Copies of this chain bind each other. A is one copy, B any other.
Amino acid sequence: MSVTLPPALPDAALGPAFSPLYQQIKALMTKSLQHAEWRPGEAIPSEMELAARFKVSQGTVRKAIDELAAENLLVRRQGKGTFVATHAEEHVQFRFLRLMPDTGEAGGMTRRLIDCKRQRAPAEIARALQLRVSDPVIRVRRVLSFRETPVVLDDIWLPSALFKGLTAERLAAHRGPMYGLFESEFGVRMIRAEEKIRAVAADAPSAAVLALKVDAPLLSVERLSMTYGDKPVELRRGLYSTTSHYYRNDLS
């Protein structure tokens, strides 16, 4: 590998035009992940092998892996190897759902599918997902319950183009987190997400599902999830009942 990149344009083009070697390696490795050369749950080649492949030192590969691990794309396990992160594992189940019960541990949520149907993307949804208006989308509604008590009402929009063949049956049959299904069945891996949180009053249908009074205060959590290259692939609006749960956030 060379440290300097050939300039894509004459020097007139601005910009740093300098990228450290390990960043170039990181970009190459990200492509291997994106193109599913390495699949979720599998081990990637050892640091030594990668160093040989890219013709750099182990330390340089290491720094690239460090950053990918910091971004939760890879997981290192000493003595075993470096693995592609997956949403299927137990201990990462609640990386995206930040709702905690007032007392006790996270987890123990049960899912109930309400419906799953195809429709045309409304303007607002299309814009968020970078689709054309009236492009086909799949809309999923479901409820999460904690010990028989409904706590979350989710309304999920997915681009049909990426999730061909997703049906209510397949959703209902699936065990484990939804992002695990997306990953294993559709090759769509959620990397990061942005949430916008507001307080709203429950409307009649939502109140009914969540067993609350109309106008009860609810957390509205609008989540836009991105895959590789910051491409948005899911828009989700959750209504969270916070009578015995809270949304947890760590600032640092």
* Residues 156-206 (chain A) with a chain B CB within 8 angstroms: 191-201
Partner of A96, one of B96, B201, B219, B251: B251
17 further A-B contacts with Cβ under 8 Å, apart from A98-B251, A193-B251, A194-B251, are A71-B252, A100-B196, A191-B252, A193-B250, A193-B252, A194-B248, A194-B249, A196-B247, A197-B197, A197-B247, A197-B248, A198-B246, A199-B218, A199-B219, A201-B217, A215-B215, A217-B218
Q: Is A58 an interface residue, CB under 8 A from the partner?
A: no
Neighbouring B residues of A249 by C-beta, 8 Å: 98, 194-195, 197, 249
Neighbouring B residues of A251 by C-beta, 8 Å: 95-96, 98, 192-195, 223
Distance in angstroms from A151 CB to nearest chain B CB is 12
Neighbouring B residues of A95 by C-beta, 8 Å: 251
Neighbouring B residues of A247 by C-beta, 8 Å: 196-198
Neighbouring B residues of A119 by C-beta, 8 Å: none
Contact across chains for B250 and A192 when beta carbons are under 8 A apart: yes
Chain A positions near chain B (C-beta within 8 angstroms): 71-72, 95-96, 98, 100, 191-201, 215, 217-219, 222-223, 240, 242, 246-252
Contact across chains for A200 and B199 when beta carbons are under 8 A apart: yes
Neighbouring B residues of A242 by C-beta, 8 Å: 197-200
Contact across chains for A252 and B200 when beta carbons are under 8 A apart: no
Q: Which residue of B lies closest to A70 (CB)?
A: B70
CA distance A218 to B195 in the complex (A): 17
Neighbouring B residues of A222 by C-beta, 8 Å: 246
Distance in angstroms from A100 CB to nearest chain B CB is 8
Distance in angstroms from A73 CB to nearest chain B CB is 10
Neighbouring B residues of A248 by C-beta, 8 Å: 194-197
